Amino acid sequence: MQKDDKKMANVAVLGHGIVGSGVVEVLLKNSGIIEKRCGQAINVKYILDIREFPELPYSGKFIKDFDKIINDPEIDVVAELIGGITPACDFVKASLCAKKSVVSSNKELIAKKGAELLKTAHENNVELFFDASVGGGIPIIQPLYQCLAGNEIEVIAGILNGTTNFILTKMIRESMGFDETLALAQKLGYAERDPSADVDGDDACRKICILANIVFGNHICPESVYTEGIRNVTPEDAAYAGEWGGVIKLIAYAAKSGDGSGVEMMVCPAFIKSSGHLAGIDDVFNGILVRGNAVGDVVFFGKGAGKFPTASAVIGDIISAVNSKGKSRLPVWSDNGVNTVKNRNEYKAAFYFRVTGSSADRFIPQGSQKLELPKKTAEETAFVTPVITEDEAETLVKNIEKSGSKLLNRIRVLEY
């Protein structure tokens, strides 16, 4: 990559963890094709890390002083691959203010501070790209604001967390319980030691917020989105979903509300019909459905995480940043301080209920579909209601509890 007689773009990589090392390795491995496509070589000039890696062939690139990057006029692009808010946020802001485009894989940072950072980028006539923050290597963010920019987007819905999709897939296919499957996911490196951010839905929540920000143009605070994880989902629920003709997936969605005055958003486990576009996306794969008023439904899927898929997205963004030098897009979204997320009481869905007792007919809403497993394992009743509001579902829960039956689970039915 040291072709001094040719044009060359210089990149600083912040963080040599899983993603950072993947980016450096792929940039080296694919340097020929990247130079051809980019019209210039992409050279990693610095790697910022508090650790040292003397055994690496590129050990001479490591630095510990961030200011060296800011003060080097040769650096065109900074790739922030540290994660978290501190110090990543300060590094990104300082880089943008020093007129360097930034590429980030940091979903927490983009979900929380995206509006502010996009504004800073635009003010400095540089770019902030973050395709790797959602869906790993799946191209989704650039397509949303480029290829699909002519659409009014009505819905964006996805399986955005590979860990929970792996767990649910195992539960469906092998009837494994949650704890057992989680332990397997941890053993295989698909789940972290503290799996809360994945299994409680917070990771998917950040990602759907980023996608909704792009699609609806306004900052949505992750805290304003009702988020339910998969800890309560059991193999029995998965079996009932099968009887009903579908599967259980952890779905994150954002939809324009019927009257157009806001956005309906939620992260929750959901019954999805087998014919649904997202139903067949299994294991650690992520999938994203975009419904536009011109294009109809388009779906993207692929590995949503991992060293090299994420590196692929980061490098795509680096190439875009190099190519867009001197041109800055309008900020993709801004923060006008208004919470556009509608109160969930008004949302409508059919609901699956599973309750103890076999004579629960007195509270089953009219028009519900009763579900039976081929092998009855316990005295319980399962049914899918017609479409009702969240409030009506809450009332049903209370009636079930009053009747002396116990609510075993309650899962929404979504049409994606």
Which residues are the active-site residues?
207
Dihedral sign for Cα 191, 192, 195, 197, please.
negative
Cβ partners under 8 Å of residue 404, min gap 6? 357
Q: Of the candidates 9, 191, 248, 318, which one interacts with its own copies according to CB under 8 A?
A: 318
Q: Closest approach of Cβ 145 to its own copies, in Å?
A: 7
User: Based on CB atoms, which residue is closest to its own copies, 151 or 369?
Assistant: 151
Binders of its own copies among 14-33, rule CB under 8 A? 22, 26-27, 29-30, 33
Q: Closest approach of Cβ 224 to its own copies, in Å?
A: 22
Binding status of residue 170 toward its own copies by CB under 8 A: no
Q: Of the candidates 52, 123, 297, 394, which one interacts with its own copies according to CB under 8 A?
A: 297
Count CA within 13 A, CB hemisphere, residue 221: 9
User: Based on CB atoms, which residue is closest to its own copies, 215 or 411?
Assistant: 215
Asked if 120 contacts 94 with a C-beta cutoff of 8 angstroms, the reply is no
Stretch that binds its own copies, among 47-55, 165-173, 181-189, 310-318 (CB under 8 A): 310-318
β-pairing verdict for 128-129 and 263-273: unpaired
Asked if 91 contacts 76 with a C-beta cutoff of 8 angstroms, the reply is no
User: Based on CB atoms, which residue is closest to its own copies, 154 or 200?
Assistant: 154
Q: Which H helix or E strand runs over 17?
A: none
Q: Of the candidates 319, 382, 393, 413, which one interacts with its own copies according to CB under 8 A?
A: 319
Binders of its own copies among 120-149, rule CB under 8 A? 131, 136-139, 142-143, 145-149
Binding status of residue 303 toward its own copies by CB under 8 A: yes
Binding status of residue 330 toward its own copies by CB under 8 A: yes
Q: Which H helix or E strand runs over 302?
A: strand 296-303
Binding status of residue 37 toward its own copies by CB under 8 A: yes
Asked if 144 contacts 215 with a C-beta cutoff of 8 angstroms, the reply is yes
Binding status of residue 302 toward its own copies by CB under 8 A: yes
Cβ partners under 8 Å of residue 376, min gap 6? none
Binders of its own copies among 202-241, rule CB under 8 A? 217
How far is the C-alpha of 384 from the C-alpha of 367, rounded, in Å?
A: 9
Phi-psi label, residue 245: left if phi above 0, alpha if psi -120 to 50, beta otherwise: left
Binders of its own copies among 268-287, rule CB under 8 A? 277, 280
Q: Of the candidates 151, 234, 356, 369, which one interacts with its own copies according to CB under 8 A?
A: 151
How far is the C-alpha of 350 from the C-alpha of 246, rounded, in Å?
A: 14
User: Based on CB atoms, which residue is closest to its own copies, 124 or 389?
Assistant: 124
Asked if 289 contacts 297 with a C-beta cutoff of 8 angstroms, the reply is yes
How far is the C-alpha of 410 from the C-alpha of 393, rounded, in Å?
A: 9
How far is the C-alpha of 160 from the C-alpha of 217, rounded, in Å?
A: 20
User: Based on CB atoms, which residue is closest to its own copies, 253 or 352?
Assistant: 253
Q: Closest approach of Cβ 152 to its own copies, in Å?
A: 5
Q: Closest approach of Cβ 121 to its own copies, in Å?
A: 14
User: Based on CB atoms, which residue is closest to its own copies, 252 or 314?
Assistant: 314
Q: Residue 330's Cα: distance from chain center in Å?
A: 23
Binding status of residue 309 toward its own copies by CB under 8 A: yes
Asked if 34 contacts 3 with a C-beta cutoff of 8 angstroms, the reply is no
Q: In what order do the strands lie in the sheet with 41-48?
A: 62-63, 41-48, 8-14, 75-80, 101-104, 128-129
The interaxial angle of helices 88-97 and 107-123, nearest 10 deg, is 20
Q: Of the candidates 187, 327, 362, 376, which one interacts with its own copies according to CB under 8 A?
A: 327
Q: Of the candidates 184, 298, 364, 373, which one interacts with its own copies according to CB under 8 A?
A: 298
Binders of its own copies among 384-413, rule CB under 8 A? none
Per CB under 8 A, residues contacting its own copies are 22, 26-27, 29-30, 33-34, 36-39, 131, 136-139, 142-143, 145-152, 217, 277, 280, 292-303, 306, 308-309, 311-320, 323-324, 326-327, 329-330
